[in-house]
Amino acid sequence: MAKGEGAQASGLGSSASGLGSSAGGLAIRRWQEAMRWRRQMDRELDPLGLTFTRWLVLESTLVSIRQCGDAVSQSRVCECAELDKMTVSQAMRDLAQAGLVDRGPDAWGPGYRVIVTARGSRVAAAGRVRVEAVSQAEGAGEPFEGPPRVAR
């Protein structure tokens, strides 16, 4: 294979024109755009000691607590953040080690119940400002309103 043929020849090059106009090409371009946005969010949140996933889990925990008025299960956070259990569990462990959440066994069933610490609330708020700034700079047009509400 000649130099430069690799990814370009397969239609998966980094330029938009190399992807073609097929539905598959559009899907790949959207995925690439989403990954660029995600990397930018991670860079913005890094000074706070967060990745976008960790911030989303922290923010979703706050939203869930506001809705319930008490500590919440990690399963509820999964629903609110629309993330899988493994991702939330790993992020929650990292957030607990950083002192941003406290979690303990749920007295009523399997799993953990989680509460956000005062420091966690401050870090989440600072992250929210950064997420909103990036979203608006990217032309999203509307401020980020946080994770969706979960039906009780």
Are the beta carbons of 55 and 45 closer than 8 angstroms?
A: yes
pLDDT at 152: 47
Which pLDDT score, from 0 to 100, does residue 21 have?
A: 66
* Single pTM value for the model: 0.75
- The answer, yes or no, to whether residue 43 has pLDDT greater than 70, is yes
Quick check: 127 and 55 in contact, CB under 8 A? yes
d(CA 39, CA 42): 5
> Is domain 21-137 annotated with CATH 1.10.10.10?
yes
Report the alpha-carbon distance of residue 112 to residue 89 in Å, rounded.
Answer: 9
CA distance 7 to 37: 22
- Write down the domain spans for the chain: 21-137
From the number of C-beta atoms within 10 Å of its C-beta (0-12, 13-18, 19+), residue 21 rates as exposed
